[in-house]
Amino acid sequence: MAHIIFIQELEFEFLGVMYISAALKKVGHTTGLIFLNRTNEWIDEIKQKKPDVVAASVMTGLHKRIFSAFKLIKQNFPDIITVAGGPHPTFFPDCINNFEIDAVCRGEGEVAFPEFITQLNLDSEKPVNNFIYKTKTGKKIDFSKVNGHISDLDSLPFADREIYYEHKFMLDIPTRAIISSRGCPFKCGYCFNEKYTEIFGKKGYCRLRSQNLIIKEMKEIVSKYPTESFHFMDDTFTMNKKWLFEFLELYRKEIRIPFVCLGTADKIDDEIVENLKHSGCHSIFFGIECGNENYRINILKKPITNKQIIKAAAILKQKKLPFKAFNIVGFPGETLKQSFETLLLNIEIKTDFPWCALFAPYPGTMLADYAVQLGELDRNYSPDDIPQSFHQNSILKNGDIKQIENLHKFFQTAVLFPFLLPVIKLLIKVKNNFLFNYWFGLVYFLVYFRAEKRSFFKTFIFGLKNMQFLVKK
């Protein structure tokens, strides 16, 4: 049996890691997790734990940091096999050409990863679905066939939480992440969903778990770990109204612990909000993205109108269910005036927990291609050009982009304190500086603390440790 160590920097529960760890343990392998940012001696931990494989779920923007860690591992322990999975290698499988990467896993790995581990010596040239790997002789085995989506989510073992909770600082965070579904029905131009379904197929992409099985998992979580709230990480928790109401009825009877979830403005109505609130939902999150309706529908390909957004917010306000709105500024071709439309729409609907990012042009998405067409992005740009966080700066060549970057830093402040808008309009004309960045970081974590009802002290410490992902150096 093999020993697999996962590495990551963000102090956050990755459900993908939990599920793959559970699948590996189910067939007898052992797993562990090292947070690279918690110690300067993590390479000594690798030496002590003697893993056969070191793996990571890799996000574009943060990939360079993980690949640097892989490089150090290969230099010190050449026999350890390194595996990159997650979004970045799924869409940019050419990273297998990096000497420090032995294998990449594309798409869902719960079936593929254990299959790959069976030939750990890398002498075999047997293809493994969803995997590209190098043999010991250096030959690249690139099996172009990829498994479709795992159709029966109930067939998967429960997420392995021990891999995170063996770290006390993670156990002490009393909000537990969970999913009831996979897949999103939208194909927004800035998102990976369209490209993902091109690779893995559109049929069966949106899948639901059975309500009873989710309740069983939640009961197990509550019995093992201190739990003050749940966070449903589904792309659209309100996707299927019939399924949702059946689940919430069980949840009220069996669990009834406060939770947060994600929805969409077009699916928010009186009945859904009443059921959510009655069942313990303390806030719901949904995306606005852009306040200009024409841009949202025709360029972003998100078919939700301002009228639907305003109506959804009015219902949530009337039912006293707080909401977070996701926004993006700095889209290709977007003017400062259009960015202000996004801000003003949030002020109009009185968003309780505003959230805003700078647009990141991920290669292969419709919006990235659009940016190239407009001449705002170089044709030869690569994932390496993307900032490590979408809260730092934009790489677009847009005439208004510097003021838009500044507006991003004061977006949350303006929504929460609209009387400051005249001052903010003056401040965004000033050159960006460390005060802007640290003010943004402070407000960001105050909103995060309020939205998810986490411990103020723990949120503050979390914020200090992850400030690097929010502010420019």
pLDDT tens-digit map of 162-211: 999 999 999 998 999 999 999 988 888 888 888 888 888 888 899 999 99
39 and 117 in a single domain? The answer is yes
Question: Which among 87, 122, 142 is the end of a domain?
Answer: 142
- Residue 159 in any domain: the answer is no
- Residue 252 in any domain: the answer is yes
Whether 290 contacts 331, CB under 8 Å:
yes
What does the pLDDT read at residue 251? Answer: 98
Residues 24 and 17: their CA atoms lie apart, in Å, by 10
Calculate mean pLDDT across residues 4-21.
Answer: 95
Helices (H), 100-189: 112-117, 162-165, 168-171
106-137 burial by CB neighbour count: b if 16+ within 10 A, else e? bbbbbbbbbbbbebeebeeeeebbbbbbbeee
What does the pLDDT read at residue 257? Answer: 96
- Sign, Cα dihedral of 58, 61, 66, 70: positive
Using one digit for the tens of pLDDT, what is the confidence trace for 388-402? 888 989 999 999 999
Tokens found for residue 34: 């090292």
How many CB atoms are located within 10 Å of the residue 457 CB? 9
**Which candidate, 299, 271, 268, places its Cα nearest to that of 284?**
268
Domain count within the chain: 2
**Residue 315 pLDDT > 80, yes or no?**
yes
Whether 13 contacts 452, CB under 8 Å:
no
What does the pLDDT read at residue 145? Answer: 61
**Residue 460 pLDDT > 60, yes or no?**
no
Using one digit for the tens of pLDDT, what is the confidence trace for 78-120? 999 999 999 999 999 999 999 999 999 999 999 999 999 987 7
Whether 359 contacts 394, CB under 8 Å:
yes
- Residue 445 in any domain: the answer is yes
205 and 307 in a single domain? The answer is yes
What does the pLDDT read at residue 31? Answer: 98
289 and 343 in a single domain? The answer is yes
Higher pLDDT, 449 or 243: 243
**Residue 325 pLDDT > 70, yes or no?**
yes
Q: Return the CATH number at 21.
A: 3.40.50.280
- Global pTM reads 0.92
DSSP H or E segment with residue 248: helix 241-254
Using one digit for the tens of pLDDT, what is the confidence trace for 329-348? 999 999 999 999 999 999 99
302 and 382 in a single domain? The answer is yes
Share of the chain above pLDDT 70, in %: 95
Categorize the per-residue pLDDT at 473 as very low, low, confident or very high, splitting at 50, 70 and 90. very low
DSSP for 332-397, please give it.
Answer: TT--HHHHHHHHHHHHHHT-SEEEEEE----TTSHHHHHHHHTTSS-TT--GGGS-SSTTT-----
Residues 385 and 396: their CA atoms lie apart, in Å, by 11
How many CB atoms are located within 10 Å of the residue 473 CB? 6
190 and 276 in a single domain? The answer is yes
116 and 260 in a single domain? The answer is no
Share of the chain above pLDDT 90, in %: 76
Question: Which among 95, 122, 142 is the end of a domain?
Answer: 142
Least confident of 56-60, 441-445, 467-471: 467-471
Domain that holds residue 193: 172-469
Q: Which residue bears the tokens 């309100």? A: 238
- Residue 320 in any domain: the answer is yes
- Residue 407 in any domain: the answer is yes
- Residue 149 in any domain: the answer is no
Using one digit for the tens of pLDDT, what is the confidence trace for 344-360? 999 999 999 999 999 99
- Residue 30 in any domain: the answer is yes
DSSP 8-state symbol, 401: H
Q: Return the CATH number at 188.
A: 3.80.30.20
Residues 85 and 464: their CA atoms lie apart, in Å, by 28
130 and 179 in a single domain? The answer is no
323 and 264 in a single domain? The answer is yes
203 and 92 in a single domain? The answer is no
Question: Which among 142, 163, 198 is the end of a domain?
Answer: 142
Calculate mean pLDDT across residues 427-437.
Answer: 94
What does the pLDDT read at residue 337? Answer: 97
The alpha carbon of 446 is separated from its chain's Cα centroid by a whole number of angstroms, namely: 20
What does the pLDDT read at residue 201? Answer: 85
What does the pLDDT read at residue 461? Answer: 55
214 and 270 in a single domain? The answer is yes
- Residue 104 in any domain: the answer is yes
Categorize the per-residue pLDDT at 284 as very low, low, confident or very high, splitting at 50, 70 and 90. very high
**Residue 27 pLDDT > 60, yes or no?**
yes
- C-beta contacts of 15-18 below 8 A and 24+ residues apart: 15/159, 15/177, 15/178, 15/179, 15/233, 16/57, 16/85, 16/86, 16/109, 17/57, 17/163, 18/159, 18/160, 18/161, 18/163, 18/164
Residues 269 and 241: their CA atoms lie apart, in Å, by 10
- Beta-strand pair 103-105/131-134: antiparallel
**Mean pLDDT, rounded, of the chain:** 92
334 and 464 in a single domain? The answer is yes
333 and 433 in a single domain? The answer is yes
**Which candidate, 95, 170, 290, 415, places its Cα nearest to that of 82?**
95
